[in-house]
Amino acid sequence: MSCPLCERDDGEVWLRRTSVPVHQNRIAPSREAARACPRGDLELARCRGCGFVWNAAFDPARIVYDAEYDNNQTHSPVFREYTDALARELVGRLALRGKTALEVGCGKGDFLVGLVAAGAGRGLGFDTSYVGPESREEGRVRFARSRYARGATAEVPDAVVSRHVIEHVPQPLRFLRDIREALEGAPRAAVFLETPTVEWILARGVFWDLFYEHCSYFDTRTLPWACARAGLTPRSAEPAFGEQYQHVVASPGEPVTDAAAARANAATIERLVARYLERAGRTEAAVRELMARHRPGDVAVWGAGAKGATLLHVLDPDATRLRYVVDISPGKQGRFTPGTGHAIVGPDALAEDPPAAVLLMNQNYRVENEAHLRRLGVSTTLVTLDLLEPDRRLDSPPAK
Domain ranges of the chain: 58-257, 278-387
Judge residue 296's burial from the number of C-beta atoms within 10 Å of its C-beta, 0-12 exposed, 13-18 middle, 19 or more buried. exposed
Looking at residue 274, its pLDDT comes to: 96
Tens-digit pLDDT profile for residues 65-103: 887 788 878 789 999 999 999 999 999 999 999 999 999
**From 3.40.50.150, 3.30.70.100, 3.40.50.720, 3.30.565.10, which CATH number describes the 278-387 domain?**
3.40.50.720
Which CATH number does 58-257 carry? 3.40.50.150
Query: For residue 163, what is the enclosing H or E element?
Result: strand 159-163
Which of 151, 158, 154 minimizes the C-alpha distance to 252?
A: 158
- Summarize pLDDT for 304-332 with one digit per residue, the tens: 999 999 999 999 999 999 999 999 999 99
| Helical axes 222-229 vs 259-292, angle rounded to 10° | 140
Mean pLDDT in residue range 175-196? 92
Rounding to the nearest 10 degrees, give the CA dihedral for residues 348, 351, 356, 359: 10
Q: Do the domains 58-257 and 278-387 sit in the same CATH topology, yes or no? A: yes
Percent of the chain with pLDDT over 70: 97
